[in-house]
Amino acid sequence: MTNVAIPNEILEEMPETVSLTGQRAETIAADIVDMQQSWAMNVQADVMHLTQSGIGIAEANTVDLEQGGAVRIEAQTVSLHQSGAGFVAAERAEIQDSYIGLIAAGEVSGEATILFDLRAAIVFGFVTGLVSGLLGLLFGRKR
């Protein structure tokens, strides 16, 4: 995994720091994003600190999520503490008392409940496709 590529036209207009407390935002692009009890749909940043917050899509070099939730996180380093995430792609993930649906990471440390890692997801997809294909052959329409 490499650093997240943020287009130059966005970088030129990015504020240095965005802080939200008890607010909602559709899209945020900044060097540093600090959110407390807030929600954002799309966030691009170098560093994100999220406390009791929710995020749809996070793209960053570093994401620290404390007692929050995310749909998708793509980052070099991810730290989840008492949080949940649907999908995490990271070079390094530190997870404490958290839940993750699918994780693709080079290095994972800590304690978590992970529904699928990358290997399990590939096997699941293969088996599901195979079973669907066989059922289609057996019970498909006859012409």
pLDDT at 1 over 60: no
pLDDT at 141 over 90: no
84 with 100: CB under 8 angstroms? yes
pLDDT single digits (tens) 26-37: 999 999 999 999
CA 81 to each of CA 52, 96, 109: distance values in angstroms, whole numbers, following the listed order: 10, 5, 12
Q: To the nearest whole number, what is the mean pLDDT of the chain?
A: 86
Say if residue 8 is exposed, middle or buried (CB neighbours under 10 Å; 0-12, 13-18, 19+).
exposed
CA 76 to each of CA 2, 63, 79, 106, 107: distance values in angstroms, whole numbers, following the listed order: 7, 8, 10, 10, 11
pLDDT of residue 139: 79
pTM of the model: 0.74
Task: Could you list the beta-strand ranges (E) of the chain.
Answer: 17-21, 24-36, 39-51, 54-66, 69-81, 84-117
User: Which of 6-20, 74-88, 98-112 holds the top average pLDDT?
Assistant: 74-88
∠101-104-106 over CA atoms, to 5°?
A: 140
Question: CA Rg, the chain, in Å?
Answer: 18
pLDDT at 137 over 70: yes
82 with 68: CB under 8 angstroms? no
pLDDT of residue 112: 74
Residue 132: pLDDT band (50, 70, 90) is confident
pLDDT of residue 3: 44
* Better pLDDT: 17 or 124: 17
